[in-house]
A and B are shown apart, each in its own frame.
Chain A
Amino acid sequence: MDFSFQDSISKILHSTGFVAMSPGQGVMIAIALILLYLAIWKKFEPLLLLPIGFGCLLANLPLSMMANTNEGGLFNIFYYGVRHEILPPLIFLGVGALTDFGPLLANPKTLMLGAAAQIGVYTTLIGAVALGFNMQEASAIGIIGGADGPTSIFLAAKLAPHLLGPIAVAAYSYMSLVPLIQPPIMRFLTTEKERAVKMEQLKPISQTVKIIFPIASTVIVVLMLPGVAPLLGMLMLGNLFRESGVTARLHETSQTHLINIVTILLALAVGSSMTAESFLTWNTIKIIVLGLLAFCMATAGGVLFGKLMYIFSGGKINPLIGSAGVSAVPMAARVSQKVGQETDKSNFLLMHAMGPNVAGVIGSAVAAGVFLSLFGSGDAGSGHAAIETITTVTTSLGQ
């Protein structure tokens, strides 16, 4: 075999990623670096944007085989958990274990605020259709207004997997911007007198009610909307771990190690879906714009319904808690507290806002369930892809 130093150098150079890099990949690497910058230096949802950004970086380095579409690649395997609705429900398990439903149970009327805030989902749906998306895509984009990352990923993976990357990035980016997006809308839609309303102290709730509620609500909601079972079921199971008092270890694991591990897998999988071919399109720009519309409309919907409750309650409900109906637990509740204290420093709205905040989580899961009932493949509740695959694997192992 002839050895030529020049040929060898040339071969080595041609086997590197530099030669294989396309302009699109260069742009995506820049976007990944921006996400990392926002996560690390600007502290924008760092727990999610950092692994998403790094997943995007790896996926766009040429020849790395780290894109979610590279069969057999590491992130292709991680992405399995998104495609087969495994990871988002596990995140919900952790959220349920972390969340106290007490404020919601003490003031159940606030569930209506969680429902009203879903108006952001539907105005965005209409906007997305007007911009040329089909109903499935528009539904997946609209759910960004639920301000709930796992729900957005869950629905996008089911209805519009090709839009998963931009939808997840828009959802998490805007969630991190909730403290900037919401206050101007809240101040604009409320009067100083309304913002100054001090709400009555929440009454205590018996432990038995806290235990029965997740069971009863799972039965009722899943019977009505079977498609919501993976998300709502896991949310309520996590909460039951918390409230039952007999599963301390499971509760501890769900709210710490499990949710952290799943967050890493989910965020890397989402980041790996952000390839140049899927992300650098006009649709991405449309989704980013629609995502902002979704958050604004959801906030406005919650606050306006809060004003309605203020009127009907004879001024006992502070409309600022309505903005917390956009999920984003507990950041949206903190924003209600902060804006309320701008008017009256002695006003403490945090616990009152936690009611609609939790209601927002349930509301966005229900909204996703409605979309799945209308536009899903009809397998919800009975023949999930994951179950089919597991059955296949079990069968082949048995043979």
Chain B
Amino acid sequence: MSLILQSIQVSILSMLVIFLVLGILIGVIKVLVHFLPYMAPPPPPPRAQAPVANASGSSQDDDHIAAIHAVLAHHLGKAPHEIQISNIQTL
């Protein structure tokens, strides 16, 4: 009987210790969150607009466009004049 009483005392004491320890941890978390609040990361910088190829582009660009034009026409089985490349963006 005394052992059961002892176990009840141990249980009450232990539960108090557990609540105390975890209560202290709650306090620690609250202090940390208070002094180190979450700050959303800055939004990523907007991507620079890719330059649009135009008629005044370099001769190297023109060569590339011509090559792409020819390959596309061949791939699609169409005549080159049936395909019009309106916009090219550098990645």
Contacts of A112 in B (CB 8 A): 19, 22-23, 26
Q: Is the CB of B3 within 8 A of A362?
A: no
Contacts of B33 in A (CB 8 A): 105, 108, 205-206, 209
Complex CA–CA separation, A135 to B5 (angstroms) = 11
**Chain A residues touching B, majority SS:** helix
Q: Is the CB of A115 within 8 A of B22?
A: yes
Question: With A115-B19, A126-B4 given, is the CB distance from A216 to B32 under 8 Å?
Answer: yes
Q: Is the CB of A115 within 8 A of B38?
A: no
* Chain B stretch 3-28: residues in CB contact (< 8 A) with chain A: 3-4, 6-8, 10-11, 14-15, 17-19, 21-26, 28
In the complex formed, the residue of B with least CB distance to A113 is: B22
Task: Find A135's partner among B6, B28, B30, B36 (CB 8 Å cutoff).
Answer: B6
A225 at the interface (CB under 8 A from B): yes
Task: Find A125's partner among B7, B26, B36, B37 (CB 8 Å cutoff).
Answer: B7
Question: What 1/0 flags go to A121-156 for Cβ under 8 Å of B?
Answer: 111011001100011001000000000000000000
The 28 sampled A-B contact pairs (Cβ below 8 Å) are A105-B32, A111-B22, A112-B22, A118-B14, A118-B18, A125-B10, A125-B11, A126-B4, A126-B7, A129-B3, A203-B38, A204-B38, A206-B33, A206-B36, A206-B37, A206-B38, A208-B36, A212-B32, A217-B25, A221-B21, A221-B25, A224-B21, A224-B24, A359-B22, A363-B22, A366-B21, A366-B22, A367-B18
**Chain B residues touching A, majority SS:** helix
B68 at the interface (CB under 8 A from A): no
Question: Chain A interface (Cβ within 8 Å of chain B)?
Answer: 104-105, 108-109, 111-112, 114-115, 118-119, 121-123, 125-126, 129-130, 134-135, 138, 203-206, 208-209, 212-213, 216-217, 220-221, 224-225, 359, 362-363, 366-367, 370-371, 374
B29 at the interface (CB under 8 A from A): yes
Complex CA–CA separation, A104 to B22 (angstroms) = 12
Contacts of B15 in A (CB 8 A): 115, 118-119, 122
B48 at the interface (CB under 8 A from A): no
Q: Is the CB of B14 within 8 A of A371?
A: yes
Q: Is the CB of B18 within 8 A of A370?
A: yes
Q: Is the CB of B18 within 8 A of A363?
A: yes
In the complex formed, the residue of B with least CB distance to A208 is: B36
Complex CA–CA separation, A111 to B24 (angstroms) = 10
Complex CA–CA separation, A359 to B26 (angstroms) = 11
Q: Is the CB of A367 within 8 A of B36?
A: no
Report the interface size for chain B: residues with CB under 8 A from the other chain.
28
Complex CA–CA separation, A209 to B37 (angstroms) = 8
In the complex formed, the residue of B with least CB distance to A111 is: B22
Q: Is the CB of A209 within 8 A of B32?
A: yes
Complex CA–CA separation, A115 to B3 (angstroms) = 24
Contacts of A119 in B (CB 8 A): 15
Q: Is the CB of B29 within 8 A of A105?
A: yes
Cβ of A112 to closest chain B Cβ, rounded Å: 7
Cβ of A317 to closest chain B Cβ, rounded Å: 14
Cβ of A40 to closest chain B Cβ, rounded Å: 37
Complex CA–CA separation, A338 to B21 (angstroms) = 31
Complex CA–CA separation, A110 to B15 (angstroms) = 16
Q: Is the CB of A130 within 8 A of B4?
A: yes
In the complex formed, the residue of B with least CB distance to A206 is: B38
Cβ of A287 to closest chain B Cβ, rounded Å: 16
Complex CA–CA separation, A317 to B11 (angstroms) = 27
Complex CA–CA separation, A104 to B10 (angstroms) = 28
Contacts of B10 in A (CB 8 A): 122, 125, 135, 374
